[in-house]
Amino acid sequence: MKKRIFVGGLHHESDTFNPIITGRDDIWVTRGQDLLDKKGRDGASGIIATLTCAGYEVIPSLIARSVPNGVWDRAYYLELKEELLTDLKNAGAIDGISLSLHGSMRVEGIGEAEQDLLASIREIHPKLPLITSLDMHATLTRRMFDALDGMVGYKCAPHTDTYETGIHAALMMIRSLEEGFLPTSSACRIPMLVAGEQSETSVEPMISLIKELRKMEGREHVLACSYLLGFPWADGEENGVHAVVTTDGDRNLADRLSRELAQTFWDKRKAFAFYNETRMPDDALEAAKASLQEHVYPVVISDSGDNPTAGSSQDVTNFLALVLKDKVLSNLTPPLVYQGFYDPEVVNLAKTAGVGNTIETTLGAKFDTQKSNPIAIRAEVKAITEKWESAYYSDLVLLDVQGVDVVVTSKHVGCYDPEMMRSLGVRPEERKVIVVKLGYLEPEIRALAKRSMMALTTGSTDELFGRLPYKRLKRPIYPLDGDFEAELVVL
């Protein structure tokens, strides 16, 4: 008789410094048969394909996702949670629960979502194997850890191994059921914050650290090893890095190996640094102009403090204000292109006016009104793209703002894809300077750059953590509190 596995999950990276509440219109949900039919490259698809190929019956619930943003709307989270729990209650006899979770999702008035969801799942099935895939930037809490038997995080940043991590999680479930053991895990907390822009896995020290994880996974009795780096743009008491090991039941082995991995990570703490060219905002603009004089372009600059891919509001205007004041960069031929600002009001005005016409309004600072100010603009509408599929059907407009081409979106979306510019008639390879609201460059836009740099701008994803108003974060923590002798605590 086929073994039956319940599958579902929630995926969101929630920035507590971003005042936007992620609501129903920002979240897309895949349910039931649609989840089984989906042929994606995400963790849930890897789980489902692997279990199905192994002859297991998958009982699908839902996967809810959204672009990183502020914390989730409480009412809608509770609605989706209840739907998933109802599916679980109605699933009948099942042999295990395989989830695809992010690990750093938060809900207004509730806090860490995963621990809340998992605690409710355990009230229904306290003993069944419960295994999940996780994002590399998951923030492991004690309650979340206690509810899980096994877990495995991505090992690539940027995250190119999401599907493969789902496969890994499913194989742990299959092995535990076929061999008749319950996985056990250990996690050791490392009191450290690290941004993705300092921990891409194509450079050291992450190359060596990930290599050690894979080597340890080859040991007998070890099912999975992960570094969960936490999410630095969330003010949580338990935030930090965790070394996690899941074994086939040997908790002593798991404890020993998680502590060993944690010590290795801590010993390399000073090796984490911005590996790309990184400059303060004014300096970045001067460096870009120097490249223009040397005929080295396109130059791609990341407006890293307002990176929607990591959860910022996508409407902080400080760096754009600097660009507009610069007489060289605001008068380029072809113009500097800036991608992009989240401002539905401006998009609606531009759509109403039409291409070739002019609008007068303010741009930006409509959602996060604390970190910057709106910019008064008189802008020509150069192009309009409605319901662009690759940006979750957001409307896009291209405006000429005082000599700078500015992309504006009707939804909060990632700005990493050069196809967004191309959909508006911009050929990015022909532009001399491109600014993107992003941190480290994704491969598609990195390929365009003759020179790239990250500007340490302000916003809800500020790379200089000392400028962020942490209140709940357990101290001391590196690097905010300088160097110290760490207590590496096994959960």
- Distance, CA of 111 to CA of 236 (rounded, Å): 8
Query: pLDDT digit string (tens) for 378-388?
Result: 999 999 999 99
Amino acid in the structure at residue 342: Y
Q: What is the mean pLDDT of residues 15-37?
A: 96
What confidence tens digit (pLDDT) does each residue in 84-122 have?
A: 999 999 999 999 999 999 999 999 999 999 999 999 999
The helix/strand/coil state of 478 is strand
Pair 36, 127: CB distance under 8 Å = no
> Does pLDDT of 309 surpass 90?
yes
Dihedral over alpha carbons 284, 287, 289, 290 (to 10 degrees): 180
In the numeric block, which tokens belong to residue 407? Answer: 């992309």
Contacts of 169 (CB under 8 A, 6+ apart): 43, 46, 47, 98, 100, 131, 132, 133, 150, 151, 152, 224
pTM, rounded to two decimals? 0.94
d(CA 210, CA 96): 29
Which range, of 313-317, 360-364, 438-442, 479-483, averages the lowest pLDDT? 438-442
Residue 94 makes CB contacts below 8 A (sequence gap 6+) with 4, 5, 6, 59, 125, 128
pLDDT digits (tens, 9 = 90+) for 244-302: 999 999 999 999 999 999 999 999 999 999 988 999 999 999 999 999 999 999 999 99
Across the chain, which distance is largest between two alpha carbons, in Å? Answer: 73
Closest CA to 407 of 329, 289, 320: 320
Q: Helix (H) and strand (E) counts for the chain? A: 13, 21
| Main-chain phi, psi angles of 206, to 5 degrees | -70, -30
Question: CA nearest 16: which of 392, 468, 448?
Answer: 468
Res. 361: pLDDT tops 80: yes
Cis peptide before 298 (omega within 30 of 0): yes
When pLDDT is cut at 50, 70 and 90, the band that residue 39 belongs to is confident
